[in-house]
Amino acid sequence: MNDKSVIRIWMSRPSNVYYDMSEDEQRILWDKLAKKYKELGIKTIIECKTNWSNEECVGFGVEELPDMVCVQALAKFQLEELEWPRYFISETYLGTPYEGTWVHGREER
């Protein structure tokens, strides 16, 4: 991780449009996304299933993106080329690495 890294947390669930796609169409969508992740140097830290514990999302993930240019490139790709919001209802949070720790809202160094 470098000082320009951006951490991205996402939570999502498929839309009815995604469920109506064939398995081949779904695979093509995921393959395009995987190719873009590799091209941009995005590292997946973890992906988790939550459908057993949450009605609002079926999964979440944490990723490390090299910088804000990468964040913008991924957003543009997902919105304009993949039309991602048609297929997934999601929420995304961005953050930057923090040196130090937080204990009950107080900074400790």
> What is the amino acid identity at position 60?
F
Could you give the domains of the chain?
6-98 (3.30.70.1030)
CB 50 within 8 A of CB 57: yes
Which residues sit opposite 9 in a β-bridge? 62, 93
pTM over 0.75: yes
pLDDT digits (tens, 9 = 90+) for 46-55: 999 998 898 8
Which residues sit opposite 14 in a β-bridge? 88
Tokens of 65: 């993106």
Tokens of 19: 């469920």
pLDDT at 35: 98
